[in-house]
């Protein structure tokens, strides 16, 4: 485990060199009381507290923590190869002290742009301005150093992801088996959350979407108090969180027996998803991957009814790089984990979306999700 964690530091240092930097500063956009806004810092350092400033140089890795987190930092960050630097006093005192300790006076420091707000960025600059002119570092935004490294999951990350995925699969299967017409969207969403936690997850990884009938034509509909009638298509988009890692699963089923129109649309979406799963490969651009599914849907006459991207990365965040879509700029690589989730949305009628998580291994996609693509009445594919 330790070698794998310190291996992350080696990869960060290589990326820092490629960026022409002497160091990288990684923080959080806001005080992260609920562990949702500092995933880059968590991935790098292991730190799960609310306030901390990680600095990685060519030779050292430090995390500046106040007294609330000194003991926690020793437990979480030292195994990752970090030294806990005890932050005390005013910004004008500790920032120059940290820069001297890390031997970064006069250095070029990149700031992880997703992980610091403008106010804190200016406070670092102003506090560093207390140093003599010749010792003041150069500050500037770094590229997506950590985000790019996070796209490729190691064995420990894959294990946590698989557990989160397995929990969501099982929760969906139980919720679908229990479902009876007349249940409201909100009740079904609440039951899914109960099941996810009963099955061992920390919580759901995002607010569950349950959208029946016409509501299913809205990809990000909020559950309502509408009672779901017999025969209505139901889109369920859900996930579980385990050891900080998120799953993302969408299934569409029917309360009762699906009609011919639903079956026809479902089969197009299913075919589009299967083609993308079978044909996606390393070296392919995000746009090319998206077109694998969109081409099938367009050929069936529903091109304008598939308006979102094919998928997105999943990990410590439920939406992270890479983004697979018509405006995506990523190139797919071995080890990347992402969703494949085509859909067709017919306003005023219903929607269909099917989503699985895959990992690129040995030149192809390996599917990690295994929830049945069924209706309560049986298979529809």
Band (378; pLDDT cuts 50, 70, 90): very low
Residue 257: pLDDT band with limits 50, 70, 90: confident
Scanning the structure block, which residue is given the tokens 């500092």? Answer: 38
State whether residue 249 is helix, strand or coil: strand
Q: Could you tell me the fold of the domain covering 2-150?
A: Creatine Amidinohydrolase; Chain A, domain 1 (3.40.350)
Contacts of 75 (CB under 8 A, 6+ apart): none
For 110-131, b where at least 16 C-beta lie within 10 A, e where not — what string? bbbebbbeeebbeebeebbeeb
What per-residue confidence (pLDDT) applies to 33?
66
* Environment class of 1 (CB within 10 Å of its CB; exposed 0-12, middle 13-18, buried 19+): exposed
Q: At a CB cut-off of 8 Å and minimum separation 6, what does 97 contact?
A: none
The two counts, helices (H) then strands (E), for the chain are 10, 21
- The reported pLDDT for the residue numbered 1 is 44
How much of the chain exceeds pLDDT 90, in percent?
89
What is the chain's mean pLDDT, rounded? 93
| Predicted confidence (pLDDT) at residue 34 exceeds the cutoff of 90 | no
Average pLDDT over residues 72-88: 96
Cα 21 to Cα 19: distance, rounded to the nearest angstrom: 5
37 compared with 191, residue with greater pLDDT: 191
Describe the crossing of helices 286-299 and 260-279 by its angle, rounded to 10 degrees: 150
Predicted pLDDT of residue 5: 56
Q: Which residue has the higher pLDDT, 143 or 275?
A: 275
Given this model, what pLDDT does residue 3 score?
45
Question: Which residues, other chains included, contact 330 with Cβ-Cβ below 8 Å and sequence gap of 6+?
Answer: 151, 285, 286, 321, 322, 323, 324
For the chain, what are the domain ranges? Answer: 2-150, 155-379
Instruction: Please list the alpha-helical segments (H only) found in 179-313.
Output: 185-198, 260-279, 286-299
How confident is the model over 100-128, as a mean pLDDT?
Answer: 92
| Residue linked to tokens 């009876």 | 180
Of 189, 261, 198, 271, the closest CA to residue 232 belongs to 261
First to last CA, the chain: 42
pLDDT digits (tens, 9 = 90+) for 342-377: 999 999 999 999 999 999 999 999 999 999 985 444
Among 364, 4, 274, which residue's Cα sits nearest to residue 160?
4
Burial class (CB in 10 A: 0-12, 13-18, 19+), 335: middle
The domain at 155-379 falls in which architecture?
A: Alpha-Beta Complex (3.90)
Q: Which residues contact 101 (CB under 8 A, 6 or more apart)?
A: 62, 85
CA distance 65 to 62: 9
Spatial distance between the Cα atoms of 70 and 66, rounded to a whole number of angstroms: 7
272 vs 269: CA distance, rounded Å? 5
For residue 146, which of 52, 24, 247, 46 has the smallest C-alpha distance?
Answer: 24
Pairing of strands 240-242, 203-204: antiparallel
Separation between Cα atoms, residue 47 and residue 59, nearest integer Å = 20
Radius of gyration in angstroms for the set of CA atoms belonging to the chain, rounded to a whole number: 23
């Amino acid at each position: 485990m330790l070698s794998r964690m310190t291996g992350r530091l080696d990869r960060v240092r290589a990326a820092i060199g490629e960026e022409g930097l002497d160091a990288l500063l990684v923080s959080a956009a806001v005080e992260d009381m609920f562990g949702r806004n500092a995933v880059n810092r968590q991935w790098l350092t292991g730190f799960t507290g609310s306030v901390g400033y990680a600095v990685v140089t060519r030779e050292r890795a430090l995390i500046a923590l106040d007294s609330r987190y000194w003991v926690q930092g020793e437990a979480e960050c030292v195994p990752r190869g970090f030294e806990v630097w005890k932050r005390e006093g005013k910004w004008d005192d500790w920032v120059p002290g940290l820069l001297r300790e890390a031997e970064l006076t006069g250095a070029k420091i990149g700031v992880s742009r997703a992980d610091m707000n403008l106010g804190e960025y200016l406070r670092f600059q102003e506090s560093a301005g207390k140093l003599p002119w010749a010792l003041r570092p150069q500050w500037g935004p770094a590229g997506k150093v950590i985000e790019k490294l996070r796209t490729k999951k190691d064995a420990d990350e894959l294990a946590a992801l698989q557990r989160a995925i397995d929990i969501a699969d099982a929760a969906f299967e139980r919720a679908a088996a229990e479902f009876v017409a007349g249940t409201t969207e909100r009740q079904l969403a609440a039951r899914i959350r109960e099941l996810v936690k009963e099955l061992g997850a920390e919580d759901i990884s995002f607010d569950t979407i349950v959208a029946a009938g016409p509501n299913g034509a809205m990809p990000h509909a909020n559950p309502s108090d509408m009672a779901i009638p017999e025969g209505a298509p139901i889109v369920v988009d859900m996930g579980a969180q385990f050891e900080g890692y998120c799953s993302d699963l969408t299934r569409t089923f029917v309360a009762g027996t699906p009609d011919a129109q639903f079956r026809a649309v479902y089969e197009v979406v299913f075919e589009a998803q299967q083609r993308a799963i079978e044909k996606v490969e390393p070296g392919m651009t995000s746009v090319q991957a998206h077109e694998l599914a969109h081409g099938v849907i367009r050929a069936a006459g529903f091109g304008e009814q598939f308006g979102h991207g094919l998928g997105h990365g999943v990990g410590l965040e439920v939406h992270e790089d890479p983004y697979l879509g018509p405006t995506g700029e990523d190139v797919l690589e071995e080890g990347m984990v992402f969703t494949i989730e085509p859909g067709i949305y017919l306003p005023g009628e219903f929607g269909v979306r099917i989503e699985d998580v895959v990992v690129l291994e040995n030149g192809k996609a390996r599917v990690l999700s295994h929830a049945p693509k069924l209706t309560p009445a049986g298979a529809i594919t």
